[in-house]
Chain A
Amino acid sequence: MHPLEEFYLQQTRREMLGRTAGGLGAAALLSLLGKTGSAASESGTAKGLPGLPHFTPRAKRVIYLFMAGGPSHIDMFDYKPALNDIHGQELPESIRNGQRITGMTSGQKSFPCVAPMFNFQRVGERGTWMNTDLLPYTASIADDISIIRSMNTEAINHDPAITYINTGTQQLGRPSLGAWLSYGLGSENENLPAYVTMISVGAKPGQALFSRLWSSGFLPSKHQGVQFRSAGDPVLYLSNPNGLSANMRRHMLDGIAELNRARFDEVGDPEIQARIAQYEMAYRMQTSVPDLMDTTDETKATYEKYGPQSEKKGTFAANCLLARRLAERGVPFIQLFHRGWDQHGNLPNELRTNCLSVDQPAAALVQDLKERGLLEDTMIIFGGEFGRTIYSQGTLTKDNYGRDHHGRCFSTWVCGGGFKPGIDHGETDDYSYNIIKDPVHINDLNASILHNLGINHKRLTYKYQGLDQRLTGVEEHHPVKEILL
């Protein structure tokens, strides 16, 4: 309790003591100050913070398609025909301009520029460039999505970069975007977690992920992302042990609840009531989660839309379909991780494989949500932790090359839920190396996501270590109004 509250508590208590019995006044005052006991704040009724949203939200939920490893913006979204003119030429020092590069290429003697070895076309009404070899389905939704070509981050290696974009800082121990949202907004669905993550299986494992990417950091741990899995229990420990039927579980829980209620009468600790509620929610999850994961009620047409891999559990395509089902059930933050984008070498082949896994399902998700009227209040974000260099890592051959990490610029597409459809934002130089117009820092994007949810990113705070901590950190960051409706 804040000392001042306590101070008032005493004042009030003293005043009231003359008239009434002891404790009553205190309890009344506590509710007056908007404070509730810890039990209530921890209970399963996952409503968000009072005063939130700060203003009318455009979106109710987010589906973040996170491409871990650093997808090559140059080979996917940030094309310009002039790239062909510099193919094979050394990257001019005036472009790199002394900027640091990773230890993997800093020893290279030569930095030959590489133009993408794919076909690009102008697509959509605005005629935006896109790799139509690899992203034909994404090209077909060009008018729904907006491409930010000026994303940037200070980090140049995976571990700091992926931590940065997911938690707003390179420091460890901070809450992830999803945890902040769970803390701020709660969830309208009491039977499912507010923050669900899924990791594609079958993709090349590639760079490491860390539980810190969906952790609650210094926020209460109930806000951490709950991973839904395609194999084993869909949520850890969800299933009753073999030999213990649902009926028996129900009977057992009834007994436990009865004993807990009696204990509450004896002890008076409201945490006991919270425990009873949590056990009930656990029981409900035993039904609601399998119900969500069981996609047998989906039509053949739906599977076809999401592509051939969508019937195979755990694939990115299957996870996209589940993401839609989660969105339908009101889960506010859904994050899919797809690994394997770290093409230091053999880029043409590996990029093709990755795009084959993600292109159709991601586009299908957009269309599916649109058809169901959900796209309006659901944001979809597709992007990774950084981009890749214009120069080749290792030897550039006639049909093969690699690219190192590049944080100075990269491309992310956004759509739905408050984002303008069908525009391009930001511009890079002729080498897709530096941003020349409208830079969007990763925390500007985070601020924009919060904005669409009706949150002023500067006012979603949590006091930790004496500071009002927030997702977007201490530097100045702003929602990118040009891309917002």
Chain B
Amino acid sequence: MFHFNLLRFTVVLTLVLSASRSWAGEIVFSRDIRPILSDKCFFCHGPDPDQREAELRLDLQEQAHASAIVPGSLEDSALIARITSADPDTQMPPAESGKKLNSQEIDLLKAWVQQGAKYQSHWAFSSPTQLETATESDWVRNPIDAFVYERLNQQQLSPQAEADRRTLIRRVTFDLTGLPPTLEEVSNFLNDNSPTAYENVVDRLLKSPHYGERMAVMWMDAARYGDTSVFHADGPRDMWAWRDWVVQAYNKNLSFDKFSIYQLAGDLLPDATLEQKLASGFNRNNGTTDEGGAIAEEYRVEYAVDRVKTTSNIWMGLTMECSQCHDHKYDPITLTDYYSMYAFFNISADNGMQTRNGNEAPLLEIPNTENLKKLPQVREQLASTTEQIEARKTEIEPAFQTWLTEATTKALAEATTGRHLDVDPVHRFAFEEESENQISCTFTEDLKGTFNGKVERTEGHRGRGLKLAGGYVEVGDIGNFERDTQFSVSTWVKPAKSSSGAIIARMDSPNGHRGYDLFLQGGSIAMHIINTWPTNAVKVTTKKQLEFDKWQHVVATYDGTSKAAGVKIYINGENWDWNIEQDHLSETIRTEKTFLIGTRHGGALMQGEVDEISLFDRMLSPEEAKTLAEDNPLPSLLAIAPEHRTESQLQQLRQHYLTKLDAPYQQLLEQRDAFTKQIAELQKPLTTVMMMADMGTPRETFILKRGAYDSPSDTKVEPNTPAFLPAMFEGAPRNRLGLAQWLFQPNNPLTARVAVNRYWQMLFGNGLVTTLADFGSQGDFPTHPELLDWLAVDFEQSGWDVQRMLKQIVMSATYRQSSHTSVDSYQSDSANRHLARGARFRLQGEFVRDNALFLSGLLVDRLGGPGVKPYQPPGLWEEVGLSGEPKFTQDTGEALYRRSLYTYWKRSAPPPSMQIFDAPTREKCTIQRPRTNTPLQALVTLNDVQFVEASRHFAERILKLEGDDTSRLSSAFQQTTARLPDAHEQTVLLNILKHARENYASDLEAAQALLSQGESARDAALEPIEHAAWTVVTSSLLNLDETLNRE
């Protein structure tokens, strides 16, 4: 075995001793006294004036010394008299408080009073400073160890030796990636004789994309990430792009200040980038309601309250939420402090009442970057095609002229023979002209129509058409028909989805809807002929509906009888049946109002496209309607003598030639359409996320009485940070951005401590402050205050470099200690507060599952994407869902084998196997998961199909190895634990194998049943009895305590 002595160095740090670092019997207020006073006395004698009894405050030295405490004198100190009194009337704490001081606590208070009853400000509210020490030991690898070693020394304890390399690589690989090391990685490490062997491993792991996934798992609980909306219906939402950003941010080692500021206020940064806006989705992860009876304001306030809680828990390590209703009982957080923080979030733009289905504004579209990369090329292709189309238009001129001459001759001959139907409108609008704001009649060029609102030229059914996208065209005094005259209208129309509005109309809506129109009603076509709606009017509506986004031809004819029966509607030349809605018309339909395309005067705007609108002063026959629909105006145009043709008519003929007769042109058009479509497709966003935004005009914030949304007081507050902490810098913006930046001001005492403490917890199982989210007076005192402060200052000075911090910790001798000691060591310090051994703890649920998938070879090594739904027992969503909805539909294929980070997180019914392993529901910010050890956990890893399937694939991999039972077992054991089994372990496992073999040899059916667990196929070449027997062995391996733990 390689000796590490070579690379050991001796750290000699020169330290100035501080008062708080002596552990030699002197009473330290912060550590020894404040916790007692806080827990037993502050409720009635603390910061909250509403609860304060007898005007006595024990949280401030001056006030305590002025009344209950006489420093140095037990006899004169009322505090001592009261806590030692046997009289229930005077005894403190009073019986009804449920609090009691034990004799040690009383002794401690006495000793403190005797020593002068000195107070210290609460440790966490003063800025951390880096102390120095003079610790000399060749155990020490870096400053972390110096602090730990000094404490151990004082405790007369010694550190453990470094864990063996196999244990160490498994430990650090799980800690930094949430996955086990491969056999190859283990053997590389064992064979690396360089002094940087371990460091190489750490560097490799920090570069792994799985590092970001591992870190994100921790962040998801804090950020209350979920794929559903929590309250009432708990419907689906899409925030996964935000989750993927978190993974990427960790992987690119975004500094913690940026990581935080983007999430708290990315939307408010100047010229915010897409990434920054996306990150702000952090504060849209809160639960939202859609409950029908909910009062929107109640929930809007709830969301702001949630955001204050989340921010203060994660970054400040404070339970600010306690001050929503009253001044904090233990910490100097006042109601005003609370609502000043709340004011930052009281102006958020999202509503109280939100959707049960999808994302709620404000939204951010996330571009599909992969697709966008392809965009330039397709655009280029489109441009080139467009050029070719233009070129083709002139190229065809000689061929066109030749055809035109021949066709004209033929048409003129046919016209005289009457072979072509003469469908001759009074007015016709073909929309072929160039103008950006006018159309003109095909026959009478000075009859113009003027665009109003959003009207665009577009590719029509033939040649150009008009797109009505929020506008209409006013044509003038045409089509002034009366109820006793025949008339017809004809048009091509391409309706947009669910649009209603007049296609053409001469109608005065405010005046009883007098007039007539051709009306698009959803998908149906209606015709109104009206004197006064609805009493004196005719209306018919087709029973069938047009298709959306498709050109269809519409003809409506009227026979002048004032009867509904006199109206006929032809779609694409076919007479459509209609329903009569009104059929009483007895007076004039004439109106002064002009003829409009796309609406009626005072009516809704039609949405869609139109082309080739014609008006006729007679009733067209069914044949004529058919001819028009067959789209053949050609005979008419050709039948005009060349010298009488207008330029517009010639242009129509040219257009006809190009689109109907010129194959190359048609191909080019198809090509262009394909490219255009492709561009639209490529530009489609990948997904959306909900992002943060503030209201344009901010809402004022008033303190809410007792925290109730409907009881605002008269006390107005401005956005601000708590008064007992250093103020926001002059000129800092008084918004979320200012708040976020304040967290990272150099004089903020909390942020760095709170953050490094979480990293420590991740790597040691417990924080240096064990109450991760409470650095207040009720929180635990740090086990190693100087170390915590040293790390905090170092973190800040490094530019908040997360990977550097993690590396520093895992490189320490403290981290690398062996966790194999003795029962006595575990029992005397079960929480490992002295750090006299390496940490050993159960993997969190996600990694228990990921580990099994990894060993099975099933794990899909792909990052990101929407949440996936792997196996879960049936019925879990339905039995709690609103009206039994939504129903869980399990995914198949790869989605079954993704890392657990990507499992779809429904917050009213979270993935059960994760919940059994202590995962929170994530309805609220959770900083600290419990770590329990329960029978239900055993049932998961023994029986959940996910684990059984993983076992049989693990067995499959083992069976494919060359060798005998012993060597295969050895490999399986090594893959699971990173170490070789000893003789006893081999015997026990081979015994399981033998027993299983015997069992399945006589029960092939059972073997096959076991091997059909899960959806993945098995290698049919493997002998089923062997395969099943080995599955029992691998399942046993997955259930070893050692496998479930990182040691």
Residues of A within 8 A of B (CB): 1-4, 6-8, 10-11, 13, 17, 22-24, 26-27, 30, 37-39, 42-44, 100, 102-105, 156-159, 172-173, 199, 201, 205-212, 215, 219-222, 224, 226, 229, 231-233, 235-245, 247-249, 251-252, 255-256, 258-260, 262-263, 266-272, 274-276, 278-279, 281-282, 285, 404-405, 456, 458-459, 461, 463, 465-468
Contact = CB atoms under 8 A, between A and B. Distances in A.
Nearest to A266: B820
A64 B230 CA distance: 25
Contacts of B923: 172-173, 212
A210 B820 contact: no
A220 B930 contact: yes
Contacts of B915: 211, 221, 224
- The listed residue with most B CB atoms (<10 A of its CB), out of A13, A215, A248, A274, is A248
A444 to B, nearest CB: 18
A206 B883 contact: yes
B464 interface: no
Contacts of B1040: 256, 259-260, 263
Nearest to A241: B948
Contacts of A105: 293
A465 B322 contact: yes
Contacts of B878: 205
B924 A42 contact: no
A212 B945 contact: no
B884 to A, nearest CB: 4
Interface stretch (B65-73, B231-239, B267-275): B231-239
Contacts of A271: 840-842, 933, 1041, 1045
B959 to A, nearest CB: 17
Contact of A212 (B330, B829, B908, B1035): B908
Contacts of B936: 222, 226, 235-237, 282
State which size class the interface on B falls in. Answer: 35 or more
Given A13-B156, A210-B234, A243-B1006, A270 B823 contact: yes
A461 B97 CA distance: 12
A199 B880 contact: yes
B122 to A, nearest CB: 12
A272 B825 contact: no
Interface of B: 23, 25, 31-32, 35-36, 38, 98, 104-105, 108, 155-157, 230-234, 287, 289, 291-296, 319, 321-322, 329-331, 710, 771, 773-774, 776-781, 819-831, 833, 840-842, 873-875, 878-885, 908-910, 912-913, 915-916, 918, 920-921, 923-924, 926, 930, 932-940, 942-945, 948, 984-985, 988-989, 991-992, 995-996, 999, 1005-1013, 1028, 1032, 1035-1036, 1039-1042, 1044-1045, 1047
A210 B880 contact: yes
A235 B832 CA distance: 35
B330 A44 contact: no
A208 B882 contact: yes
B35 A2 contact: yes
Given A27-B828, A237-B943, A467 B778 contact: yes
Nearest to B912: A236
20 contacts: A1-B831, A7-B32, A157-B293, A172-B287, A205-B885, A210-B880, A219-B930, A221-B916, A221-B934, A222-B934, A236-B936, A237-B939, A242-B1012, A243-B1008, A268-B825, A272-B1041, A276-B1041, A285-B939, A466-B330, A466-B331
A172 B781 CA distance: 28
Contact of A39 (B828, B830, B1005): B830
Given A255-B992, A282-B938, A275 B295 contact: no
Nearest to B923: A172
B848 to A, nearest CB: 13
A379 B874 CA distance: 32
Nearest to B945: A241
Given A237-B873, A243-B1008, A274-B933, 8 more contacts: A6-B833, A7-B32, A26-B828, A159-B289, A205-B883, A231-B874, A236-B936, A243-B1013
- The listed residue with most B CB atoms (<10 A of its CB), out of A104, A222, A243, A263, is A243
Nearest to A101: B293
Given A248-B995, A285-B935, A466-B777, A243 B1010 contact: yes
A256 B885 CA distance: 41
A3 B937 contact: no
B497 to A, nearest CB: 30
Contacts of A103: 292-296
Given A269-B826, A466-B778, A235 B992 contact: no
A29 to B, nearest CB: 9
Given A22-B156, A241-B943, A158 B232 contact: yes
Contacts of A245: 999, 1006
A222 B931 CA distance: 10
A324 B251 CA distance: 55
A284 B829 CA distance: 32
Given A30-B827, A237-B943, A269-B840, A199 B879 contact: yes
Contacts of A100: 295, 710
Contacts of A270: 823, 826-827, 830
